[in-house]
A and B are shown apart, each in its own frame.
Chain A
Amino acid sequence: MPTITDAQFEALFNPRGVLIAGASTHPGKFGFVSLHNLLASGYQGKVFATNRDGAEVLGVQSVADVADLPDGEIDLVFVCTPASYNPELLRAVAAKGVKAAFLTSAGYGEAGEEGRKAQDELIALAESLGVLIAGPNGQGVVSTPADLCAQIVAPYPPAGGIGVASQSGNFVSSFMNWSTQTGVGISRAVSAGNAAMVTVPDYLGWYAGDDATRVGLAYLEGITDGRAVYDAFRGITPDMPLVVVKGGATAGGAKAAASHTGSLAADDKVFDGAMRQAGVNRAATVEEAFDAAATFATQPLPKGNRVVVMTTAGGWGVVTADAIHESSLDLIDLPEDLTSAIDEHLPPRWSRNNPVDLAGGETRDTVPTVMRLIAEHPDVDAVIYLGLGIQHNQGRMMERGRFYPDHGLERIVAYHERQDRRFAEAAAEISADTGKPILCATELATADPENAGPKAIRESGRLCYGSGNRAVTALDHLWRYVSWRRRHLDD
């Protein structure tokens, strides 16, 4: 396999100009949708299109013949044409200076013996022409630093630090939908399709050196060379955390018959061990994977595992404490000086223990003040805050009720809204000041995204966790990565 050059990856993720090959006037066709998505997402480079009849599509005057396109202005071709036409297309665009091609076209490796042959021939041709082939049979590529949305599906996510590479295009969409919902943005995202030339580990390897990407997020299935995947990942994790979720069993499994060890070494145990060895954060579900990646992308890495939970109500704290006991994190006993310091700001009924249960004793400044006391304490490495949004939740009900805005409701609703916004902003600010992770969790993140608490977290670019358990799982991923670095890299 030839090495894919940085210039080729640049052509894919930061193209100066894009050609949609096979643009269509029919809004149901991929050749229309891809041009639409490219134009609608604000791509700033030059956009070109080919169409059999040279038709105008979405205001772009297409050409019927690639020869009529300018030289040296197009880096990336997005291919919606049938497989049979693609060799001719590839030669023509390479002559125009194109260095990368994303192929949505089906009918290749996924389509039996003939398809595999066509795929092998196409890759050999592309290699001889110096063109990177992404796909074929993939959904597309997204690159927010380039305002690039070259794909046959939605959405176009906000910009951020998560780099996605997936063997399933649908999971690229899933991750980007969560990005859109949570506000935690994406740097690059690519659906590897048949991965005929460029594999998921190849994309992640490029992300590791990409300034826009802080964490890799990958979906894998059907691994055919486990050792190569391990080697690639082990090369990436010193530079960039990597969150992986895997579907399906590996293709291996034949074990020496007389060996007891062999019968214990089930496929998933081998994969799991290889990922741990490589310093990869493996997630059990795609939701957990996104939460973990979003946390890597937006929170500082913890310097230790000592956690304090701060809650406005008992039950949330108890369940979150249970989750911490099941993790690699440590729910510390509150240091005496911290307990005394908090005493100054809460009525005597507060928990005086970890979780710090405010017991409804809050006045205007209690939440930010106590949060700062906890986070600044040298024996605390991370904080989980539960109960954001309660005040504005009541405010939102008052606002919708029939008594609003009379009876003093207008004023109190505005106060509740301000308070929850303040708490969310305080969490981000104190985290930045102390360099410690502070994770806010409330189901209002999804139950009422317009609540001022989760809304302000979204605007801060951080993740509002759907529950205390999800915050614990995400923080646990960060700590396990830090632990791996310390043991294996002498950090």
Chain B
Amino acid sequence: MPPVPTLSEAESKVRLAAHGVPFLPEHDVTDVDAAVAAADELGYPVVAKLNGDAIAHKTERGLVRLGLADAGAVRVAATELLAAATPDDGDVSVLVAPMVRSNREFICGVATDEQFGPTVLLGVGGILAEAIADVSLRLAPITRADAEDMIDDLATQALLGDFRGEAAVDRDQLIDVLLGLSAAVTDDASIRSIDLNPILIHDGAPVAVDALVEVA
């Protein structure tokens, strides 16, 4: 168990959405048939992930199934994911969400600094994120102007424009993500940290495909 309790992905998203952080429509289901019905409604391809309060590192455990192209693939994936749950995971469910592809990744989040208190972060994401360390932080709460500054602060400005055939990042929507994170940590004192990682760019819109909230 991590030292600080984490919320499940689904509950993290519900909490953050209440403060204005935008997410894609997705379904949180508990059996295989419901997973297939959800995928039919969303349209293919979809992603299926095992969801639970104690599941903080899904990718490392192989609990994320990407690019499921039809009902048969969803049925197999949902069956395997539910079977992979261990007793330590507690109550689990399957998250079915639209599949988003993106050539670039960002990370947004909240971290609590001992000196400065809660901070909002925007950074270049992906597997090289920590090596590149192209991030900008501000103290929560932030203003719209602060959010604009954060975007301007990033050294890798090329990732924000038209990129490898993808549309430029919609700045206003990215600002909304940052303001939503700020509102969440400002309004909810129990939140210690938030990870929206990765944030993908879908038709210019920043889309948080995963969310992890740590609470005190």
Which A residues are closer than 8 A to B by beta carbons? 223-227, 230, 250-267, 269-274, 276-277, 487-488
Q: Residues 94-114 of chain B: 1 if any A CB is under 8 Å from the residue's CB, otherwise 0? A: 000000000000011111111
For A273, the chain B residues whose CB sits under 8 A away are 119, 136-139, 150, 153
Q: Residues 112-134 of chain B: 1 if any A CB is under 8 Å from the residue's CB, otherwise 0? A: 11111101010100000110010
Assembly CA distance A272 to B136 (angstroms): 9
Tell me the smallest distance from the CB of A460 to a CB of chain B, in Å. Answer: 35
A261 touches B109 (CB 8 A): yes
B93 interfacial by beta-carbon distance below 8 Å: no
A259 touches B115 (CB 8 A): no
Total A-B contacts with CB atoms under 8 angstroms apart: 125
For A254, the chain B residues whose CB sits under 8 A away are 114
B115 touches A250 (CB 8 A): yes
For A262, the chain B residues whose CB sits under 8 A away are 111, 193
B153 touches A276 (CB 8 A): yes
Assembly CA distance A83 to B34 (angstroms): 77
Assembly CA distance A264 to B139 (angstroms): 15
Assembly CA distance A274 to B120 (angstroms): 11
B28 interfacial by beta-carbon distance below 8 Å: no
A265 touches B2 (CB 8 A): no
Tell me the smallest distance from the CB of B93 to a CB of chain A, in Å. Answer: 20
Nearest 3 A/B pairs, CB to CB: A261-B109, A252-B114, A226-B115
B135 interfacial by beta-carbon distance below 8 Å: yes
Assembly CA distance A255 to B139 (angstroms): 15
B138 touches A274 (CB 8 A): yes
A259 touches B111 (CB 8 A): yes
Residue of A254, A264, A274 with most chain B CB atoms under a 10 A cut-off: A264
- Residue of chain A at shortest CB distance from B136: A273
Question: B138 touches which one: A251, A260, A277 (CB < 8 A)?
Answer: A277
Which B residues are closer than 8 A to A by beta carbons? 2-4, 6, 56, 107-117, 119, 121, 123, 129-130, 133, 135-139, 142-143, 145-146, 148-150, 153, 192-195, 197, 212, 214
Question: A261 touches which one: B56, B110, B138 (CB < 8 A)?
Answer: B110
Assembly CA distance A59 to B39 (angstroms): 95
Residue of A223, A269, A487 with most chain B CB atoms under a 10 A cut-off: A269
Assembly CA distance A253 to B197 (angstroms): 22
Residue of B113, B145, B150, B193 with most chain A CB atoms under a 10 A cut-off: B113
Assembly CA distance A322 to B212 (angstroms): 43
Could you pull out 24 A-B pairs where Cβ atoms are within 8 angstroms? A226-B116, A227-B117, A252-B113, A253-B114, A256-B3, A256-B214, A257-B4, A258-B2, A258-B56, A258-B212, A258-B214, A259-B109, A260-B195, A261-B109, A261-B195, A261-B197, A263-B130, A264-B111, A264-B133, A265-B137, A269-B136, A270-B116, A274-B138, A487-B145
B133 touches A277 (CB 8 A): no
Given contacts A223-B115, A260-B109, contact A270 B214 (CB under 8 A): no
For A258, the chain B residues whose CB sits under 8 A away are 2-4, 6, 56, 193, 212, 214
For A272, the chain B residues whose CB sits under 8 A away are 137
B214 touches A259 (CB 8 A): yes
Question: B137 touches which one: A227, A251, A269 (CB < 8 A)?
Answer: A269
Other contacts beyond A254-B114, A257-B4, A264-B133: 9, CB < 8 A: A226-B117, A230-B116, A251-B114, A252-B115, A256-B111, A260-B109, A262-B193, A270-B119, A488-B145
B107 touches A261 (CB 8 A): yes
Residue of B2, B112, B135, B137 with most chain A CB atoms under a 10 A cut-off: B137
- Residue of chain A at shortest CB distance from B124: A264
Question: A230 touches which one: B121, B133, B139 (CB < 8 A)?
Answer: B139
Question: B113 touches which one: A263, A270, A487, A488 (CB < 8 A)?
Answer: A270
Assembly CA distance A88 to B135 (angstroms): 53
A261 touches B143 (CB 8 A): no
B137 touches A270 (CB 8 A): yes
Given contacts A256-B112, A260-B109, contact A265 B133 (CB under 8 A): no
Tell me the smallest distance from the CB of A170 to a CB of chain B, in Å. Answer: 24
For B129, the chain A residues whose CB sits under 8 A away are 260, 264
Tell me the smallest distance from the CB of A484 to a CB of chain B, in Å. Answer: 8
Assembly CA distance A274 to B136 (angstroms): 10
B193 touches A264 (CB 8 A): no
Tell me the smallest distance from the CB of A221 to a CB of chain B, in Å. Answer: 13
B123 touches A277 (CB 8 A): no
